Amino acid sequence: MAWLSSTCVPVLLAVALCALAGAAAGGSAPAPAGGMLAFASNRDGDTEIYAMRPNGSNVRRLTHSRKYDSPASWSPEGRKLLFYSQRSRSGSVWVMNADGSGQRQLTHGSAHDVPGNWSPDGTRIVFDSDRGGASDIYFMKADGTHTEKLTDEPANDESPRWSPDGRTIAFVSERDGGSEVFVMNSDGSGQKVLTSGAKDSAPVWSPNGRTLAFVRVAGGKAAIDVVNADGSGRRQVIQDRKDWLGGLCWSPDGRRLVFASGRDQVAGELYVVNADGTKLVRLTTNRFGDNSPVWSSA
């Protein structure tokens, strides 16, 4: 299953990125673009969900389950947080209020269910699940009822992300023998591949819906690439010394990307970079693992 968010993607899986001259570890954060960052961290012994300002300040803990919890997506209005939790036997989709209250399980059973994000109108949630054998893409109502299957492939389909206009869903598929970014209509029709030639994962829509950022691993190193919604114009934003990244998310204004990398600390820290690859800044500095950031505009 993939690390888990239309403009964000954290995962239960990973990937990572490059050296920029002038990017100093522990440097001062850029002027915040507003909102709130939720992220996963094991700084208190087990992996829980935390929130902080986009400049790295005002860190607070949201979950205390003593099981693996990881954020997936803020609701469109920023009042709720969708997240993955291993409190159940195999992992399931949960939701909570932005302050950590009202935690509620949405999917049940023995399947491994991983949340993607909300539809733009907040009425539905897209997720991937292995309830049918291989992992496929599903959606359900925001209250966890009325589940429908969108893909049905022998290979794994994972990491779904609803586009900002609600018409398209991006996802990752292994159906062609590798790991590639696909898109489809929101009803599951019109499935087509956008990327090829490397191990691609974690697609996230820009806030205007014109481009997708994703993680590409090739030659033992990971990079953040951006591609137009029709598959044209792929370009690299930043490449890393490592081969993993623990999440990827756009800022609400579409000017920055936040991600986790082991470039300075093997367990992972959070970084933010301009969408053109300039001004890389480290947001967290500790000896524990921080990953799966998701950025709210509220």
Residue 31 CB burial class (10 angstroms; 0-12, 13-18, ≥19): exposed
Is the confidence at residue 277, as pLDDT, over 60? yes
Q: Which of 103-107, 129-133, 237-241 has the weakest average pLDDT?
A: 237-241
Is the confidence at residue 66, as pLDDT, over 60? yes
Quote the CA–CA distance of 201 and 217 in Å, as a whole number: 9
**pLDDT classification of 14: cutoffs 50, 70, 90:** very low
pTM for this predicted structure:
0.89
CATH of 8-296, one of 3.10.180.10, 2.120.10.30, 3.40.50.150, 3.40.1350.10: 2.120.10.30
169-219 pLDDT, tens per residue?
999 999 999 999 999 999 999 999 999 989 999 999 999 999 999 999 998
Quote the CA–CA distance of 38 and 270 in Å, as a whole number: 11
Is the confidence at residue 232, as pLDDT, over 50? yes
